[in-house]
Amino acid sequence: MAAEESSVTYQQLSDLEREFDDVETEIIRQQVLLTQPLFEKRQSVISQITGFWPLVIEQAPPDIDEYIQPTDSALLLNSLTGLSVEHFEVETGGDPRSVATRFEFAENEYFEDRVIEKKFWYRRAAKDNWAGLVSEPVDIKWKEGKDLTEGLLGLAKAVWDEEQAGGANGAAKGKKKPLTEKQKALKAKIDTIGLGGLSFFTWFGYRGEPVSAEESRIATQEEKERRQRRAAGEEVATPTNNEEEEEEGDEEESLEIFPTGDQLALAISDDLWPGAIKYFTQAQENDDLSDANFESDEDIEDAELPESEDEDERPSKKRKA
């Protein structure tokens, strides 16, 4: 191995990775289009199995399960009637990595909503070329004294609305205005409560990096142009965070009530959603094994399980709630 001088740079490797990303993104688009009829078929099949989604959630992989507290679990098991994931930008030629998650609930003691929907947009930031999923806080109409997020979600939504109305230090603007009263209140609440062990429903407050659709469109275009110019031999640097901006980023993060919300979104859209039948089947097998007649026995029978035809033994569906 003669150690010849090579001119390979990190930038070249990184550009090559972006080329792979571009191809992967197109493959995801194809995948979404090709599997869509199957997901519709699946939807019509599993809609005949009441209790399908609660059982799927019960078998959720660790990167989802870790966020589901015992009270969340009881609520989801008793009231979750539907779940769906849509790659909503595919139809309009947008990014196939953007996803909308939709949770449907039966009447329950915690909140008034029958549907809670949260959208995640795949975006790129101009300032540091960051790319990933961003979202907007979604409020939940908690019943009196039943707010599982202890007020965090409502406050996060109020802060967001205030920013959108232009009254507050829009994080996207990057200006160092002092915090508003609402922002201060949110920050204080986060500091007091901490973000460990919070309800799954806090996730609906995730916002992520403050990147608008317009900024992302421009940043994506600029990124593509930089790569083309580098491929043509020009030296063009990719923008990166400087330290001052990093600090500001920290400030932003302190108003984030679910910092890993993008990862949880991915775990739901790329694992739980496509793997739902696998998880449901696992739940049934565990159920058969433990013979514990867990929640939703009625529903399991609806599914004509070969091994559990004990029609007479139907304990109450309610568990500790």
- Which residue(s) pair with 119 in the sheet? 100
Q: Does 248 bind its own copies (CB under 8 A)?
A: no
Closest to 290 measured CA to CA, from 311, 312, 307, 272: 307
Closest to 89 measured CA to CA, from 103, 80, 99: 99
Nearer to its own copies, 78 or 169 (CB): 78
Q: Which amino acid type is present at position 73?
A: S
**Other Cβ atoms closer than 10 A to 180:** 16
138 is written with which tokens?
């979604």
Q: Does 274 bind its own copies (CB under 8 A)?
A: yes
Among 158, 212, 303, 308, binds its own copies (CB under 8 A): 303
- The CA distance from 203 to 164, in Å, is 20
Residues sharing a CB contact under 8 Å with residue 101, sequence separation 6 or more, in sequence order: 83, 84, 85, 117, 118, 119, 120, 265, 268, 269
Among 234, 304, 312, 313, binds its own copies (CB under 8 A): 304
Shortest Å distance, C-beta 42 to its own copies: 6
Shortest Å distance, C-beta 213 to its own copies: 27
- The CA distance from 257 to 264, in Å, is 13
Among 7, 92, 290, 316, binds its own copies (CB under 8 A): 7
Q: Does 38 bind its own copies (CB under 8 A)?
A: yes
Pick the piece of the chain touching its own copies (CB under 8 A) from 32-40, 54-62, 147-155, 263-271: 32-40
Closest to 170 measured CA to CA, from 203, 215, 179: 179
DSSP letter for 217, please: H
Number of residues located near its own copies, criterion CB under 8 A? 47
Among 6, 92, 290, 316, binds its own copies (CB under 8 A): 6
Q: Does 50 bind its own copies (CB under 8 A)?
A: yes
Among 40, 41, 109, 291, binds its own copies (CB under 8 A): 41
Q: How far is CA 69 from the centre of its chain?
A: 17
Helix axes 10-46, 213-231, angle to 10 degrees: 140
Q: Does 48 bind its own copies (CB under 8 A)?
A: yes
Among 202, 280, 283, 287, binds its own copies (CB under 8 A): 280
| Site for its own copies, rule CB under 8 A | 1, 3-10, 12-14, 16-17, 19-20, 23-24, 26-27, 30-31, 34-35, 38, 41-42, 45-46, 48-50, 81, 106, 274, 277-278, 280-281, 284, 298-299, 302-306
